[in-house]
């Protein structure tokens, strides 16, 4: 059976405002028919993720891996410089093999609900960095940021905190990941 690892922060982990859940993992397992391992850690940025990458990713069997960071990297309270963020993504992609990786841009947020911790203007810059890292490495990309902004009310896909996903948000994210995994498997 094929295996997918989802490497990321609290959105990957399925944070529901109180605890980690299987909201993403279950949708992907069912939609792909694969074994899905969730390697999401709430509150983490790419610097922190690099310290656990060997244990949580490289030492595990996988056919594909999603790399979905940026919410914390772009934050004003936990953030890291934009250039370092892109460098970290490129390192991750090369470590796992660009042919097995799938980048996901950070989703937009609701500024006023984030109370100065995050701003959409800054999140957009980090989404652009993911786009550029994908171009530089040849890694397939899910431009979640742009796809959500195209929706009439992406804010309805987010919890009351303006960052984490509702069930509808996870339906959307899982659909995008399943589509990209299947597309990548065709090549």
Q: Report helix, strand or coil for 65.
A: strand
Q: Total domain count for the chain?
A: 1
Burial of 9 (0-12, 13-18, 19+ CB in 10 A): buried
Q: Which tokens sit at 134?
A: 């994908």
CB 37 within 8 A of CB 6: yes
* Element (DSSP H or E) covering residue 148: helix 144-149
What is the extent of the structural domain holding 42?
Answer: 3-186
pLDDT at 116: 86
pLDDT of residue 18: 86
Task: Kindly report the backbone phi and psi dihedral angles of residue 51, in degrees, each rounded to the nearest multiple of 5, phi listed first.
Answer: -70, -20
User: How many Å apart are CA 75 and CA 101, to the nearest integer?
Assistant: 24
What pLDDT does 17 receive?
81
CATH number of the domain encompassing residue 29 = 3.40.50.1110
From first to last of the 187 residues of the chain, give the pLDDT tens digit.
999 999 999 999 999 888 899 999 999 999 999 999 999 999 999 999 999 999 999 999 999 999 999 999 999 998 999 999 999 999 999 999 999 999 999 999 998 899 889 999 999 999 999 999 999 999 999 999 999 999 999 999 999 899 999 999 999 999 999 999 999 988 7
Dist. CA 179–CA 183, nearest whole Å: 6
pTM for this entry: 0.97
Closest CA to 11 of 44, 35, 33: 44
CA distance 10 to 40: 6
């Amino acid at each position: 059976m094929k295996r997918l690892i989802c490497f990321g922060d609290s959105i990957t982990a399925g944070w529901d405002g109180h605890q980690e859940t299987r909201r993403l993992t279950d949708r992907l397992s069912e939609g792909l028919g694969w074994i899905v391992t969730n390697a999401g850690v709430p509150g983490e940025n790419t610097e922190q993720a690099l310290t656990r990458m060997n244990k949580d990713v490289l030492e595990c069997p996988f056919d594909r891996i999603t790399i979905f960071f940026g919410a914390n990297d772009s934050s004003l309270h936990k953030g890291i410089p934009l250039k370092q963020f892109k460098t970290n993504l490129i390192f991750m992609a090369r470590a796992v093999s660009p042919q097995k990786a799938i980048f996901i841009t950070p989703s937009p947020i609701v500024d006023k609900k984030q109370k100065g911790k995050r701003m959409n203007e800054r999140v957009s810059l980090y989404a652009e960095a993911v786009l550029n890292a994908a171009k530089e490495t040849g890694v397939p990309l899910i431009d979640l940021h742009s796809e959500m902004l195209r929706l009439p009310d992406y804010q309805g896909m987010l919890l009351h905190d303006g960052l984490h996903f509702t069930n509808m948000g996870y339906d959307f994210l899982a659909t995008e990941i399943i589509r990209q995994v299947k597309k990548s498997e065709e090549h």
